[in-house]
């Protein structure tokens, strides 16, 4: 069926998406009216208006073509009249700003994030604000629910972005690609109530609490007498319990986990409580603050203890899950510290058989005390783990990535501007000894190939080398805050954005394909 702009202006409710050919045709017409290239998939009609996104001299511009000047939706920009058939319409063109993002969110509800529930999901962190179209192009091939706005407060501090900017950048990517199947927004690795307030104000729907600093890693090796002293010193008022109650509930008889029963010894229970008791207390405090701030708005919670020194044992996971449920905290996912090593930007390091056995046991806890998803943090490029997680967990799995999209940006720069990439790689090598301090990484500069010795057509191989890949990964903040690089970095990516999108799509296809139609033991009816 052939559509016309005039007919689109008659729509009060959201019109169905256009076919590719129709979208291309109308993009040409809108581009002629607006004076810039229009992204065909962005065209949406509702409220007697046509909304669209385009590119104008390297910057994104938003357009609203309305049936009358009164239908401008509080959109800020340049206003002019436009003839559409026999209709005189109002055309408003403006920049991709926070205020215009808010207007679009109100006008087109599919641009607002939403809770994703227990669908298997993937978080696609975007440190640059440019990656969402590439993420969506990959997501279209699979049945995972995407989280498209996702950055930790640490990452925002290093890139100079705010939670609202992360949210708005994702919105414009969703708008550009015309993605209407829903997406989440993850306020990642939150440590304080002030973090929650910022992200709640920006409209996030998924909140990852990071109580890692409350983990007592010494509990694993503390002698019995020290353990008893530490148990007595736990914040029992905040935990609304006492040691005898914990023993009665978890230590008197084996806990039924469905496929097996787990007997927890008195020593194991003490170590679990000492190691994670303050974690539970902090998480409860954060959850209750979040619930108060969100009011009637729906939200989801993830609790993460993945960035800690010691592995989360099965009794420890069970203790955490039991206590959170007892205290009224409902999680949609939880990230333990798994066996093996999850370093940034490289594949899993460890015994895969051991990981599978441990992952299946953790899943039993999540099904018994939830159900909730098991979350794979530092999940980028863990290609050997994905088939195991998909097979074992089915729907009950969440994959979290972030830095891998930055690395694909560097891959694009290596193709578009080899000289700039070589400068960045050399600078990163110099910054790595400092920047590695807050990450679990094992790369060594001495093992990184010298960027100066690599020919232009082989530079992308640096992104496939273990050491140079990790070095480039963890130095993102230093690179993006280095004035001589910043403008050139973004200019290179914007000079041919399709190069970056294509690399992201290929890279994320590899991440997501193992999760296609997973039907493992974790499958749930939604």
* Residue owning tokens 């008195």: 266
CA–CA separation, 164 and 176 (whole Å): 18
Helix, strand, or coil here: 37?
strand
Answer yes or no: 181 catalytic: no
Contacts of 403 (CB under 8 A, 6+ apart): 125, 127, 344, 345, 380, 473, 474, 476
Catalytic: which of 126, 155, 216, 302? Answer: 302
pLDDT tens for the 526 residues of the chain, in order = 467 999 999 999 999 999 999 999 999 999 999 999 999 999 999 999 999 999 988 899 999 999 976 566 689 999 999 999 888 999 999 999 999 999 999 999 999 999 999 999 999 999 999 999 999 999 999 999 999 999 999 999 999 999 999 999 999 999 999 999 999 999 999 999 999 999 999 999 999 999 999 999 999 999 999 999 999 999 999 999 999 999 999 999 999 999 999 999 999 999 999 999 999 999 999 999 999 999 999 999 999 999 888 999 999 999 999 999 999 999 999 999 999 999 999 999 999 999 999 999 999 999 999 999 999 999 999 999 999 999 999 999 999 999 999 999 999 999 999 999 999 999 999 999 999 998 989 999 999 999 999 999 999 999 999 999 999 999 999 999 999 999 999 999 999 999 999 999 999 999 999 999 644 444 433 3
To the nearest 10°, the Cα dihedral for 209, 162, 414, 421? -100
Indicate the pTM of the whole model. Answer: 0.96
Kindly provide the b/e burial profile for residues 342-353, where b requires at least 16 CB atoms within 10 angstroms of the residue's own CB.
bbbbbebeeeee
Helix, strand, or coil here: 118?
coil
Could you tell me the two tokens for 470? 């990790």
287 Ramachandran zone, left/alpha/beta (phi>0; psi -120 to 50): alpha
Decide the pairing of beta strands 255-256 and 121-124.
Answer: unpaired
Catalytic: which of 126, 169, 188, 381? Answer: 188
Domains of the chain (ranges, CATH numbers): 5-108 (no CATH), 112-401+511-515 (3.20.20.70), 405-495 (no CATH)
Alpha helices (runs of H) in 233-328, residue ranges in sequence order:
236-239, 243-246, 266-294, 314-326
Answer yes or no: 248 catalytic: no
Could you tell me the two tokens for 301? 């919670």
* Residue owning tokens 């609304």: 240
């Amino acid at each position: 069926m052939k559509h016309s702009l005039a007919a689109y202006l008659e729509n009060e409710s959201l019109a169905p998406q256009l076919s590719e050919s129709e979208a291309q045709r109308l993009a040409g017409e809108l581009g002629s009216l607006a004076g810039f290239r229009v992204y065909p998939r962005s065209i949406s009609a509702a409220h007697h208006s046509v909304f669209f996104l385009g590119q104008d001299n390297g910057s994104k511009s938003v357009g609203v073509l309305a049936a009358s000047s009164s239908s401008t939706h509080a959109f800020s920009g340049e206003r002019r009249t436009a003839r559409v058939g026999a209709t005189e319409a109002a055309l408003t063109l403006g920049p991709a700003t926070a205020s215009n993002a808010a207007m679009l969110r109100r006008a087109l509800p599919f641009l607002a994030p939403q809770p994703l529930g227990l669908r298997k999901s993937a978080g696609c962190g975007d440190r640059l604000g440019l990656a969402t179209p590439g993420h969506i192009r990959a997501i279209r091939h699979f049945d995972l629910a995407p989280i498209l706005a996702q950055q930790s407060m640490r990452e925002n501090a290093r890139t100079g972005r705010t939670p609202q900017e992360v949210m708005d950048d994702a919105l414009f990517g969703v708008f550009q690609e015309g993605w209407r199947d829903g997406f989440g927004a993850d306020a990642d690795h939150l440590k304080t109530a002030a973090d929650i307030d910022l992200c709640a104000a920006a409209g996030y729907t998924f909140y990852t609490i990071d109580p890692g600093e409350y983990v007592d890693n010494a509990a694993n090796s503390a002698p019995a007498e020290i353990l008893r002293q530490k148990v007595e010193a736990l914040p029992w008022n905040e935990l609304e319990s006492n040691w005898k109650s914990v023993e009665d509930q978890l230590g008197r008889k084996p806990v039924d986990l469905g496929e097996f029963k787990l007997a927890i010894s008195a020593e194991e229970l003490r170590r679990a409580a000492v190691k994670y008791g303050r974690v539970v207390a902090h998480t409860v405090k954060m959850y209750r603050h979040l619930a108060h701030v969100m009011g009637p708005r729906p939200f989801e919670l993830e609790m993460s203890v993945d960035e800690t020194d010691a592995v989360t044992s099965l009794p420890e996971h069970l203790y955490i899950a039991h206590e959170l449920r007892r205290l009224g905290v409902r999680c949609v996912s939880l990230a333990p510290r798994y066996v093996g090593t999850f370093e940034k930007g490289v594949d899993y390091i460890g015994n895969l058989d051991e990981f599978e056995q441990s992952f299946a046991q953790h899943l039993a806890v999540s099904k018994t005390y939830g159900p909730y998803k098991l979350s794979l943090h530092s999940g980028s490029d863990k290609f050997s783990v994905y088939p195991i997680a998909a097979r074992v967990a089915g729907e009950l799995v969440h994959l979290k990535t972030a830095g891998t999209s930055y690395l694909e940006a560097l891959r694009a720069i290596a193709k578009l501007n080899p000289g700039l990439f070589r400068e960045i790689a050399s600078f990163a090598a110099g910054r790595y000894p400092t920047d590695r301090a807050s990450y679990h990484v094992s790369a060594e500069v001495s093992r990184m190939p010298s960027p100066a010795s690599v020919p232009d057509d082989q530079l992308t191989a640096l992104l496939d080398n273990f050491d140079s890949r990790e070095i480039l990964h963890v130095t993102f903040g230093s690179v993006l805050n280095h004035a001589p690089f910043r403008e050139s970095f973004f200019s290179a990516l914007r000079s041919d954005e399709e190069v970056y999108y294509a690399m992201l799509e290929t890279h994320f296809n590899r991440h997501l394909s193992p999760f296609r139609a997973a039907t493992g033991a974790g499958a749930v009816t939604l």
